[in-house]
Structure 1
Amino acid sequence: MKYLNVRTIYRRVLPIIALGTLLLGGFVYVRKVEPEDVEVVSVSLVLPRLGARFDGYRIAQISDLHADGWMTPGRVLGLVKLVNEQEPDLVAITGDFATYSKFRSLIRHASALVAPLRRLRAPDGAVAVSGNHDYKSNPQVVRGVLAASGVTELHNTVQTLHRGGAALHLCGVDDVREGAPDLDRALRDLPEGGATILLVHEPDFADESAASGRFDLQLSGHAHGGQLGLPLLRYLFLPKLSRKYPAGLYRVGGMFLYTNRGLGAHPRFRFNCRPEITVFTLRSS
């Protein structure tokens, strides 16, 4: 009788232990393991307006660092080293350096990004745009971080790279949700001839930018890929202006759009949606 009682206890307790172990393992995975498992994604794109002198040009895109108590300077430095290992010609950063919280200020963590970001190595440097978290936290602090890091902010402005007689234009539009985006101003300053790459935090802006006919590639972030890489469920975590183009490569009119899954997360969890560094190799027609 005693043996039967012990067996009955095992039958009842073991499933509970197994379930608890599964839940604990899942919690550790989504909070600790996958958020640190960075994927380097390689994308090759043919841009018909790209000059032959820029054939093979490499751009490393990172996005959504979301500096906080988890995304520390040491962690960012590791990401910077991984970016540098890709040997890009240019680094493009598509917003959300800071993390906004309704309950406590986290902007102090953004200032700690200066030291690691200054160690980015690319012949043509690094360019960036701000994101909605940057504006909701403290845009002046974020702009100071970029300036101190040697990162050029494209604030509705254009920067042109030259190789021989060929030109590659880099354009940035301010955050669409919280900033002061001015696509018309950027278009007025955009020279004729050559390929143009647009940086804007929110990917769904692509419908408007593609309609101008002036951009060959738009780089965006914002969505974190939904953080939950399961059909239908991921849309529960997609912010506004990212639900149409949440992750990966799209063709919008005559323009390519790439939405990077980001490196940070808010809130911090990921499942089947690894953080991402994207490396583009541009090809001329």
Structure 2
Amino acid sequence: MTRTLRYTLLVLAIAVLAGCAVIAYAYREAHGGAVVRQASIALPNWPADAPPITVALASDIHVGGGSMSPARLGRLIDQIAAERPDLALFAGDFIDGHDARTARAAAPVLTAAFRRLRPPLGTVAVLGNHDNDSDPASVAAALRRAGVTVLENAVMRAGPLAVGGVGDAYSGHDRLEDTARRLRPLPGARLMLTHSPDVAPRLSEDMPLLLAGHTHCGQIVLPLLGALWIPARHGRRYGCGIIRERGRTVVVGAGLGTSLLPLRFGAPPDVWLLRLHGAQQPAPRASR
């Protein structure tokens, strides 16, 4: 064996080992607990006598996918419950794939897990594109059996908040203007919850906060290259995290599950804890 051949084989071996190590890391990141991110957001129209509240935001559970077993979902719901939010919001894609059989099989798993989450102001959800493409009625019914309020272009009061749940824009179920019209008469600080953040540029000035998921924050984010793909009409503009523009705030979570590959790299699963308060109230919890 020549020296050149030995060197080539050594380089190939190192490359294979490095690739295996990256895949192992990405697999572990996709199957672990959620990173808890925190932020404080001041909202107009906050009731004068209402104290700040903590809202948990999570999305993209993808039950039936390679990284979301019933046991892991239970652990993640328990992790959210342990943070003791006043209100829990879930931004869609509760199941994986696009098959009605997957949705029906996931239904009892969702019900069992979400019964373990009982924040004082309730749990609210919207459906995502995977839910809509499979069996949305089964997904919504499973959540409602666990006490979750499912909003599909509908509104509700939750403590000091007026919450609008907008249907998913990625699958063509959004009725943003109708939902905003129904939300305006409700007292309280306004918050919109949806699956895909694609509706963000269409928000009117009196809708200051949008919470969403869907992008997985890219799921695979490589050094220098960044996210390989963000499944959204506006790409990186609303790809991940907190985006502030034109007087509004958009928060996009990375989600809890995975799509296509049961791997995450550079975009760990996360839960946002948002401390919401009025403009004149202090923000008692710092971001991290």
TM-score range with shorter-chain normalisation? Answer: 0.7 to 0.9
Identity of aligned residues (%): 34
Task: Tell me, in whole angstroms, the C-alpha distance in 2 between the residues paired with 1:218 and 1:19.
Answer: 43
Matches of 1:37 and 1:25, distance apart in 2: 20
Is 1:26 the counterpart of 2:37 in the alignment? no
Count of matched residue positions in the alignment of Structure 1 and Structure 2:
274
Structure 1: distance between partners of 2:41 and 2:161: 14
Q: What is the CA deviation profile of residues 106-140 of structure 1, one whole-angstrom value per residue up to 9, with x for unaligned ones?
A: 32442121101111120011001011111111111
Question: 1:155: how far off?
Answer: 1.3
Is 1:55 paired with 2:48?
no
- Structure 2 partner of 1:274: 268
Residue 42 (structure 1) aligns with: 38
Q: In the alignment, what sits opposite 1:133?
A: 130
Whether 2:63 is the aligned partner of 1:67: answer yes
SS at match of 2:21: helix
Counterpart-to-counterpart distance in 2, 1:204 and 1:145: 27
- CA distance in 2 between counterparts of 1:107 and 1:233 reads 35
What are the Cα deviations for residues 72-119 of structure 1, in whole angstroms up to 9, with x where unaligned?
1111110011101111000000000011258x9532442121101111
Alignment of 1:1-285 (within 5 A): 11=7, 13-70=9-66, 71-101=68-98, 106-111=102-107, 112-162=109-159, 167-190=160-183, 191=185, 193-209=187-203, 212-230=204-222, 233-241=225-233, 243=235, 244-267=237-260, 268-285=262-279
Question: Root-mean-square deviation (CA), in Å?
Answer: 2.4
Q: Is the 8 A contact 2:65 2:258 kept in 1?
A: no
Q: Structure 1: any 5+ residue segments left out of the alignment?
A: none
Structure number with bigger Rg: 1
Greater shift, 14-23 or 275-284, is seen at 14-23
**How far 1:265 sits from its partner (Å)?**
1.1
**Cα displacement (A) at 1:241:** 3.1
Change (3 A) 1:284 1:242: same
User: What SS does structure 1 have at the residue aligned with 2:73?
Assistant: helix
Aligned-partner residue type, residue 144 of structure 2: A
Say if 1:51 and 1:231 are closer, same or farther in 2 by CA, change over 3 A: farther
Compare 147-156 and 8-17 and name the one that shifted more: 8-17
Counterpart contact for 2:191–2:210, Cα < 8 Å:
yes
Provide the secondary structure at the position in 1 that maps to 2:174.
coil
- In the superposition, relative to structure 1, how do residues 27 and 77 fare at CA in structure 2: closer, same or farther (>3 Å)? same
For 2:210 and 2:105, the matched residues in 1 are separated by: 28
- CA contact 2:222–2:228 (8 Å) conserved in 1: no
Q: Matches of 1:28 and 1:100 in 2, distance apart?
A: 24
Q: Structure 2: which 5+ residue stretches go unaligned? A: 280-288
Q: Is this contact kept in 2: 1:227–1:265, CA < 8 A?
A: yes
Name the CA shift for 1:213/1:7 in 2 (closer, same or farther; >3 Å): closer
Pick closer, same or farther for the CA change 1:37–1:123 going to 2, 3 Å: closer
Instruction: Give, in whole Å, the separation in 2 of the partners of 1:150 and 1:107.
Output: 18
Q: What one-letter code is carried by the residue in structure 2 that aligns with 1:196?
A: R
